[in-house]
Amino acid sequence: MMMRRLFLTTALTLALSGAARAQAPATELRYGAWGFDAEGRDMATRPGDSFFRYANGGWLDRHEIPSDKPGVSLRLLMTDLAEARVHALLEGAAKTAPHQPTTTEGKIGAFYKAFMDEGRIEALGAKPLANSLAAIRAADSRTKLAGLMGHSVDDFQSALFSVFIDADPKDPTRYAVFVNQAGLGLPDRDYYLEASFAPQKAKYQAYVEQMLTLSGWPDAKANAAAIVALETEIAQASWSKIEQRDQDKVYNPMTVAELATFAPGFDWAAFMGDAQLAKTSKVVVGEKTAFPKLAAIYAKTPVPVLQAWLAFSLADHASPYLSKAFVDANFEMRAKTLSGQPELQARWKRGVHAVAGGDYLADGHFGDMGWAVGQVYSAKYFPPASKAKVQALVADLKTAYHARIEKLDWMGPATKAEALKKLETYTVKVGYPDKPRDYSKLSITDDDLVGDVRRAAQDDWAVQVRKLSGPVDRAEWQMTPQTNDAYNGSLRDIVFPAGILQPPIFDPNADPAVNYGAIGGVIGHEITHGFDDQGRKIDAAGVLRDWWTPDDAKAFEARAAKLGAQYSAFEPLPGFHVKGELTMGENIADLGGLTVALDAYHASLKGKPAPVIDGLTGDQRVFLGWAQAWRGKVRDDFLKKQVVSDPHSPRQYRVDGVVRNIDAWYDAFGVKPGDQLYTAPADRVRIW
């Protein structure tokens, strides 16, 4: 089961990717008397040695990571609250849901009821996979297998290539079909190719064997070895995540006929046909040079190995919805081995994420009813007053950003004019979509969990395919209202779901300085994504083109490279350095976000001096608000996975890596030469 990837969409991802959740009180969170938990500081640490530790060290020392999580943070407490609220909504809906409901609320209730019927799920065992496994056995040719792979868009299958639909960056008024490399069961190609991940790779092979055995697939041991060997070849042919970030290099339009000639050995017609894209004449190919290699691997791999690989991926993706043996095996590999999480979540928590979407399921919003849950959630928990306050903050941040662009000393007038034009085109979306998703054609029953997931995935993919027949909908959302995150999308939209608009990120009753540092920094972060090393390649009309003068582009690239070098020097674990090129976009967005948030706070004072609260100046409180938003820690295995595969830097560097480049931070906290984070003025990175 593959997640539809969003072209040019960069989510803030403040919460832990893949992190399990814990129950929280169903009341709104509050931090300190004015929005900051001062007791959570470590006053023994100098701000200039580690501002992250200074702002958060006391809290970190007092909080252990729960056994059902790979980490603990204030952001997870926010997600816990949203989870508890959704849990209550689903429990209520389940009590009155009929066997096969017709209303949207009845459907989410029946879906949840099906997940919670553990007795029935145990009795079924692997039976829900029987028809799909039979189809794999019957697919005795590469053409038939390519067709089955086409169902990776709407079923539990995997594929050598992923498919998604999004706005065409060369014609942003229309949608396009994008095809990218895929086929790996581990988080990144480094897990197959780097010696440091040999233990995880060995455990993965044992996991493949275990899944095949549970599914009743023959020769599980030999097939597991063949599958891991196949995926190792796929890894060798695949682009790195750093290469995949380059928007110019991953935009390669071709007709399907041209693709078949360019990457022979894979039946593209069968693949596209079963993906309901038979009428699609043109696609946008991502990792271009990898495609012929992957197709050649497919052409030479024995059919029985490909069948076994599909059987494994089927069981792997479906396992969260199957009996305890499947669930436990999946947990041991996906959560414990790869993220260091010792204990499986409670069933109700997994049920919440199965229905509402979220990080527990690796495929995100796929096979769930997240938009339906979001309609109920936002109606109850996101008041219009909060929406209005966030919209006002966004306006303040855009004004401050406009002023910063005008004052840039390294950018010429022509490029500035284009940048300002782009800034004004952004659509800001707060809380929830204005138009609800139509679930009238989706069939849900309270006794067929795997079927519910499959039908929900098919319903969602049908929505995606229908978009190809019309113009781009600028009002579309890519993140459900209950999600604790934000993003800057391909539609030139900046989106703040209701789930992120709660303390400590946004508290309508907090000191304004803290809000500017937290939600203001988030807003600035998302705006800056339109001007990071990849977002800057998109113009005011949403078109992928070079609108920079050569000199301005050169100046930007030099500054970005300097920032990348700073982050690449960070080593959160011995031998594991932050990848400055991989995290470049997020690092630029963090730096721009906090910088412009501070400007916006100053402007909000309208010439009056900032009040001093508990001995802290306004600037100090802005910086502390940002640092508190990142308060938390993760297990080492999760941190290793993050450094290798995540475009976001570890949380401590999203504080320390940013403040060291902002002059006002030095003045606010008296940071001097000799302090560990001290960076000479000439070496500080100033971009936006």
Residue (of 119, 70, 71, 110) closest to 90 by Cα position: 110
Model confidence at 12, pLDDT cuts 50, 70, 90, reads: very low
> How far, in Å, CA of 176 to CA of 187, rounded?
27
Average pLDDT, integer, range 99-120? 98
Strand partners for 10: 488
Matching residue, tokens 């594991």: 576
Model confidence at 21, pLDDT cuts 50, 70, 90, reads: very low
Q: Tell me what percent of the residues of the chain surpass a pLDDT of 70.
A: 95
Whether the bond between 609 and the residue before it is cis, its omega within 30 degrees of 0, is no
Least confident of 168-182, 297-311, 477-491, 520-534: 477-491
Check whether 117 has a pLDDT greater than 90: yes
Residue 369's pLDDT is 97
Check whether 10 has a pLDDT greater than 60: no
**Per residue in 479-488, is it b (16+ CB within 10 Å) or e — as a string?**
bbbbbbbbbb
Model confidence at 28, pLDDT cuts 50, 70, 90, reads: low
What is the distance of C-alpha 676 from the center of its chain?
A: 32
> How far, in Å, CA of 13 to CA of 493, rounded?
17
Residue 610's pLDDT is 97
Residue 113's pLDDT is 98
Check whether 16 has a pLDDT greater than 70: no
Q: 316-331 pLDDT, tens per residue? A: 999 999 999 999 999 9
CB 485 within 8 A of CB 499: yes
Would you state the structure tokens that stand for residue 129, as one six-digit string? 């996979």
Model confidence at 158, pLDDT cuts 50, 70, 90, reads: very high
Would you state the structure tokens that stand for residue 377, as one six-digit string? 């959630």
> How far, in Å, CA of 359 to CA of 525, rounded?
22
Q: 353-407 pLDDT, tens per residue? A: 999 997 544 334 468 999 999 999 998 998 888 888 899 999 999 999 999 999 9
Strand partners for 418: none
Residue 363's pLDDT is 39
| H-helix or E-strand spanning residue 18 | none
Average pLDDT, integer, range 33-59? 97
Average pLDDT, integer, range 66-80? 93
Matching residue, tokens 């030469």: 673
Would you state the structure tokens that stand for residue 10, as one six-digit string? 């960069």
User: How crowded is the C-beta side of 666, counted as CA atoms within 13 Å?
Assistant: 15
Q: Tell me what percent of the residues of the chain surpass a pLDDT of 90.
A: 90
Residue (of 680, 487, 684, 476) closest to 585 by Cα position: 487
CB 265 within 8 A of CB 298: yes
Would you state the structure tokens that stand for residue 353, as one six-digit string? 């994420």
According to DSSP, residue 253 is labeled E
Check whether 589 has a pLDDT greater than 50: yes
Q: Residues with Cβ < 8 Å from 299, sequence gap 6 or more?
A: 142, 264, 265, 266
> How far, in Å, CA of 117 to CA of 310, rounded?
28
Would you state the structure tokens that stand for residue 34, as one six-digit string? 């004015």
> How far, in Å, CA of 321 to CA of 127, rounded?
12
Residue 27's pLDDT is 56
Q: What is the mean pLDDT of the chain?
A: 93
Residue 649, φ and ψ in degrees, nearest 5: -70, 155
Sign of CA dihedral 200, 334, 649, 364: positive
CA angle 136, 142, 143 (to 5 degrees): 95
Mode of pairing for the β-strands spanning 71-73 and 632-634: antiparallel
> How far, in Å, CA of 134 to CA of 289, rounded?
34
Check whether 6 has a pLDDT greater than 80: no
- pTM here is 0.92
Check whether 195 has a pLDDT greater than 50: yes
Could you give all domains of the chain from N- to C-terminal order, each with its CATH number?
Answer: 27-83+369-683 (3.40.390.10), 127-344 (1.10.1380.10)
Residue 383's pLDDT is 84
| Helical spans, DSSP H, in 157-302 | 190-193, 198-215, 220-237, 241-244, 256-262, 268-274, 290-300
Residue 492's pLDDT is 86
Q: 205-256 pLDDT, tens per residue? A: 999 999 999 999 999 999 999 999 999 999 999 999 999 999 999 999 999 9
Average pLDDT, integer, range 556-581? 97
Work out the widest C-alpha separation in the chain, in whole angstroms: 76
Average pLDDT, integer, range 422-430? 93
Average pLDDT, integer, range 187-204? 97
Residue 245 to residues 213, 249, 293, 395, 585: CA-CA distances in angstroms? 38, 8, 20, 29, 9
